[in-house]
Amino acid sequence: MKGLAGIFQEAGKEILVEEIDVPELEEGSVLIRNMGGAVCGSDLHGWRGDNDKPMRKKRFVGGHECAGVVDRLTGGISTDSMGRPLEEGDRVVFPFFFPCQRCYQCSHGEMHACTYRGHPRMRGDSWEDYPYCDGGFAQYYKLPRNHWIFKAPEEIPDSAMVTANCSLTQVAWALHQAKLRFGDTVVVQGAGGLGIYACAIAADSGASQVIAIDGQDARLSLASRCGASSTIDMKEFPTPQSRVERVMELTRGVGADVVVEVVGVAAAALEGLDMVRAGGRYVDVGNISGGSYELPGSKVILNQTQWIGIMHYNPWILDAAVNWLVRVKDKYPLFDLVSHTFPLTRINEAFETAEWVGKEGGSSATRVVVQPWA
Ligand SMILES: [Zn+2]
Ligand SMILES: [Zn+2]
């Protein structure tokens, strides 16, 4: 059995679309017919070559933000991870990383902090296993044995399902880890896919203020419709200092209770630290490969900033997040988050459209989705 997949070569080179094998299914695994792969910031980092990890220097099937339809169930699986009946043909969402369930952190129920020791793969994109058709930019995606899988609510369109397992749930987890409380003031640095979801979740959780920062009009406008009470346009406030001053002005000189970084550049983290109130929380989500920065230790300590690094999440929150999405579907236009779709054969155009570095103003992409069956 074969399927089409987008093959990443070295950074800067064309993404190839080739037909490759679908991986063998061991008992208990699930084969997904993938309905779409979104271009996430971390995919862009790899595509640009922002990081130079060895895994980025060989061919692999990219993509992780995806969802699909159950193509084949094995091992007598008859329910999803919440005990609901599950059949072939059902639309499902699933975490894009595979906690080993055999390590210290997993044993403590901290699947987000799994070290993946002794486990063949952390993610579905086949950095290790290529050539198999199993990344987010491929027609098929394999869930290993004992992986979490959740039936998607009928009300959610396919495009919103695709963005659920990374951008939506990643920020839901970030705000959960930041212990967001009723009345908190929240700053969201970056109003792309993650930022828009962060604004809506913060607003719907009872934040008294949600301040979104971005340089692109379309994103700021969507942020305003999705819960942001104020926006800071980087064209109007071009320097870090001017943006910090604006946050201070909006929070009456106090600073924000919670600042969420979803930009993916190191400079944003340093800027954001100055926006946190004394004793507040800084949540760094986007900087997974945005480069290193020197943490100003004294500043963090004197301000008593709780600095929280975020990667992955505990699987339950993915199901909670899609159910939340159903409840707020008429309140925030979150189904408009996907701004562009491309068939897999035009994946290179999809990446060029999603690229935001060097772009200012005008219409811009919030989320670009590649459709492997279009
Ligand atoms: Zn992602
Ligand atoms: Zn583990």
Q: How confident is the model at residue 362 (pLDDT cuts 50, 70, 90)?
A: very low
| Helices marked H in 30-189 | 41-48, 104-107, 158-162, 169-177
Same domain, yes or no, for 97 and 73? Answer: yes
Centre of ligand 2 from the C-alpha of residue 119, in Å: 8
Q: Distance between CA 48 and CA 42 in Å, rounded?
A: 10
- Map tokens 């930022």 to a residue: 195
Q: Give the pLDDT score at 140.
A: 95
Higher pLDDT, 289 or 218: 218
Mean pLDDT value of segment 336-350: 94
Please give the structure tokens belonging to residue 351: 């990446």
Centre of ligand 2 from the C-alpha of residue 102, in Å: 5
Q: Give the pLDDT score at 46.
A: 81
pLDDT in tens, 241-259: 999 999 999 999 999 999 9
Verdict on whether the full-model pTM lies above 0.75:
yes
For residue 119, pLDDT beyond 80? no
- Residue at 331 is within a domain: no
Residues with CB under 5 A from ligand 1 (ion): 40, 42, 65, 166
Same domain, yes or no, for 159 and 175? Answer: no
Task: State the total domains in the chain.
Answer: 2
- Residue at 322 is within a domain: no
Same domain, yes or no, for 125 and 260? Answer: no
CATH number where 218 lies = 3.40.50.720
Q: How confident is the model at residue 290 (pLDDT cuts 50, 70, 90)?
A: low
Q: Are 361 and 216 spatial neighbours (Cβ–Cβ below 8 Å)? A: yes
Same domain, yes or no, for 248 and 292? Answer: yes
Same domain, yes or no, for 80 and 145? Answer: yes
Q: How confident is the model at residue 124 (pLDDT cuts 50, 70, 90)?
A: low
Centre of ligand 1 from the C-alpha of residue 42, in Å: 6
* SS3 at position 94: coil
Q: Distance between CA 90 and CA 174 in Å, rounded?
A: 29
For residue 358, pLDDT beyond 60? no
* SS3 at position 171: helix
181 CB-near residues (< 8 Å, 6+ apart): 206, 257
- Residue at 354 is within a domain: yes
- Residue at 321 is within a domain: no
Ligand of minimum distance to the alpha carbon of 102? 2
- Residue at 213 is within a domain: yes
Domain residues for 276? 167-309
Q: How confident is the model at residue 142 (pLDDT cuts 50, 70, 90)?
A: very high
Centre of ligand 1 from the C-alpha of residue 199, in Å: 17
Q: How confident is the model at residue 118 (pLDDT cuts 50, 70, 90)?
A: low
Same domain, yes or no, for 189 and 125? Answer: no
Centre of ligand 1 from the C-alpha of residue 290, in Å: 13
- Bridge partners for 306 per DSSP: 281
Centre of ligand 1 from the C-alpha of residue 307, in Å: 21
List for the chain the helix, strand, coil content (%; round to 5).
30, 25, 45
| Helices marked H in the chain | 41-48, 104-107, 158-162, 169-177, 193-204, 217-225, 240-250, 266-273, 297-302, 316-327, 347-354
Same domain, yes or no, for 199 and 148? Answer: no
Q: Give the pLDDT score at 274.
A: 97
- Residue at 9 is within a domain: yes
Mean pLDDT value of segment 192-205: 96
Q: Give the pLDDT score at 131.
A: 82
Same domain, yes or no, for 116 and 28? Answer: yes
81 CB-near residues (< 8 Å, 6+ apart): 148, 149, 150, 315, 319
Ligand of minimum distance to the alpha carbon of 312? 1
**Average pLDDT of the residues of the chain:** 91
Q: How confident is the model at residue 340 (pLDDT cuts 50, 70, 90)?
A: very high
221 CB-near residues (< 8 Å, 6+ apart): none
pLDDT in tens, 19-38: 999 988 999 999 999 999 99
pLDDT in tens, 49-106: 776 554 555 788 889 999 999 999 999 999 999 999 999 999 999 999 999 888 999 9
Q: Give the pLDDT score at 209.
A: 98
The full 3-state SS of 298-331, as one line of letters, equals: HHHHHCCCEEEECCCCCCHHHHHHHHHHHHCCCC
Same domain, yes or no, for 181 and 263? Answer: yes
Same domain, yes or no, for 189 and 146? Answer: no
Kindly report the length of the chain: 374
Same domain, yes or no, for 114 and 180? Answer: no
Q: Give the pLDDT score at 59.
A: 83
CATH number where 97 lies = 3.90.180.10
- Residue at 316 is within a domain: no
Check the CA dihedral 146-83-194-133 and report its sign.
Answer: positive
Same domain, yes or no, for 149 and 11? Answer: yes
Strands 209-214, 185-189: pairing is parallel
Please give the structure tokens belonging to residue 273: 């630290």
- Residue at 109 is within a domain: yes
